[in-house]
Copies of this chain bind each other. A is one copy, B any other.
Amino acid sequence: MSSDSVSLRDRWRHIIFGTDTPAGQYFDQLLIVAILASVAAVMLDSVQSIHQQYGTWLYGAEWFFTLLFTFEYMIRLWVSDRPLRYARSFFGVVDLLSIIPTYLSLFLPGANYLLTIRALRVLRVFRVLKLAHLMTEANELGATLVRTRRKIGIFMFSVVIVIIIFGSLMYLVEGPANGFTSIPRSIYWAIVTITTVGYGDISPQTSLGQAVASMAMITGYAIIAVPTGIVTAEMSKASMARRYERECPNCHRHDHDPDARFCKQCGTGLPKPGQEDAG
């Protein structure tokens, strides 16, 4: 690899991974616009009337974006220190899935629906978080969800059990004559009901069925308090936890605000944050 090639690679690396340089920011903004435009093109192309009128234009746009993203994908592979690791990472797979269907449609003309997979391109928009300097908030939200995953998991597990029981019960009570043709379909009804979505495509007809359905609805209405409580308690705790970090050298009280200079209990001067160990 010549010295020129290396410097070109470094320049591309700065463009693709840089968030502070003008070139990097410009590239990110351009990428977001291209992603949104390509997703919009995919969506519009699925509308029959638009497809008939502007199909050729959209086909051209599709190949333009596909070639652009293919070029970007290759650049990313090239400038990455561990190309394989990038290729197998979440965004690497999404980047690949964004371009593959268009090429496949050349060889498998019947697989038109496959093209819908390109809508996954929208996932690439999450890179915008980096752009908008929202990573702190995004990480905070993510950390909360990670910390609550066991409790939320138990809750969802219980909800699934409740759904299966209500579904089976309704199959027993209403039966195939009233639209509850099988237990899986009754479970689908139970999910529609307990999550309070309520399409109404299947609904209980008998009095007993309506009574059971009422219980399912009230259950679904009341238990939404549980995941909300779990997430909220965790978020409150996280925002409080930051206070229990500094200790007063005189009275040893230690729930001081990050910006406190004197102990709120005894008025003694506090060490600066991060200096407790040194003191």
Contact = CB atoms under 8 A, between A and B. Distances in A.
A43 to B, nearest CB: 4
Given A126-B158, A229-B234, 10 more contacts: A44-B184, A46-B184, A116-B169, A188-B213, A195-B218, A225-B228, A253-B265, A259-B265, A263-B264, A265-B265
Interface stretch (A3-11, A56-64, A85-93, A144-152): A144-152
A169 B159 CA distance: 24
A1 B158 CA distance: 42
25 contacts: A39-B164, A43-B183, A43-B184, A47-B183, A116-B183, A119-B167, A122-B165, A141-B151, A141-B230, A156-B218, A159-B218, A188-B213, A224-B225, A228-B232, A232-B236, A233-B236, A240-B240, A241-B243, A244-B258, A244-B259, A253-B259, A254-B259, A255-B259, A257-B264, A262-B265
A196 to B, nearest CB: 5
A227 interface: yes
A221 B195 contact: yes
Contact of A197 (B181, B193, B261): B193
A176 B23 CA distance: 43
Number of copies of this kind of chain in the complex: 4
B191 A218 contact: yes
A210 interface: yes
A68 interface: no
Interface residues of A, number: 113
A161 B138 CA distance: 15
A154 to B, nearest CB: 5
Contacts of A238: 233
Interface of A: 39, 42-44, 46-48, 113, 116-117, 119-120, 122-123, 125-126, 128-129, 134, 137-138, 140-141, 144-145, 150-159, 161, 164-165, 167-169, 171-172, 175-176, 181-185, 187-188, 191-201, 203, 207, 210-211, 213-214, 217-218, 220-222, 224-241, 243-244, 251-269
Nearest to A45: B183
Contact of A140 (B129, B151, B167, B221): B151
Given A116-B168, A224-B221, A268 B267 contact: yes
A152 to B, nearest CB: 7
